[in-house]
Chains A and B, each alone.
Chain A
């Protein structure tokens, strides 16, 4: 294992502080610990560090040194991005924002002592703790599949090696072979994600293996941007995609990773690639912290604080907040509201009313981009959708191209908003 010097020194400093410093706010700089360096966590850490101008000590705990964004990983599958295009590091957050970046797993939260324990030993004290752990998978969600099968039947729903594996499997499909997807039930990360993936796989197969087939077993009767995707599949990939929804037994699925078979509503099919996207739940640190209720962590809409603990916040996919879809854009939006509230609570800076927004772009084929977006506001009960829009079927090619180019601009924008 190689440690870069800054990270090593940073981690050592944190551990030492944990041993000696009493947990009293007044005795030193207030401490914010952020667990998870994705769209929610990296953004929250950066905004708190940037806007507090050194008044708050910010620690970001993230096991990966290289972070691959889940958003745009489908474009890698489709050949529109290199894996290196969606890879990011935390160097700027550490060097330019003074964030103490610790590359380790958070293994537990002691809410009484207000510390987060680390897999590598030691613990980190906090005054405010922000968890942004993304998703984990529900056990036994798809009959025949568990995490031990992920190298045969990848989920590729956390970007990186899983995405690479899925791509390699697609490229190795025999001529006229079959790609199967087991789509997830609601709610899950990135509502249009599985269907953008189907489009990207179809794009690759059309070029390399045009007689190949795609089968999607879906436990849902409908999905986001359904009319747009189905129009695109019909126009661009005619006869290639067979979507089997709930009404046709798409929810009655089992898989056999050793035999590479998928059984949909009693009918067994031999497949060459099987992308299993199981039912999801909050990343497990949220459950270990005791702030989940069922699969997700209920939060207050005004500041993303958990219902269970006012000093513990949950952002992004792991949170149960109301109407916002689980997306990188949503997590980034929630992070800024949370950062403003946390800074206000710790330093007395002004806290402004919560405003949230989300847009999900999806690519159907070359220069054929579509989007759905909405604005949201905080009510006492939840984050509520108040306005929105969606691309229309039959749009002309120039508009679709502009929408795709806009998504590239957004990617550059949000990643610099996250990682500095």
Chain B
């Protein structure tokens, strides 16, 4: 049985999510640098940002019930101590 703080999962998700958001910002910067302020560029970038907001909003809403100050437990399978002989 392994116990670990739930906040570890929270931090891991925040780090990975932060990296993905940074990647999004780089893509947006690239789009406007080389594509200019054309209508198609603004529209697609707006849709992209809206999609990110929707994903973040839904996931944060679903994770609201998780108690991040608690402890998670992973049950390990029972190991027979006599498996390799007594």
State yes or no: do A and B come from one complex. no
Q: Which residues of B contact A (CB under 8 A)?
A: none
Interface residues of A (CB under 8 A from B): none
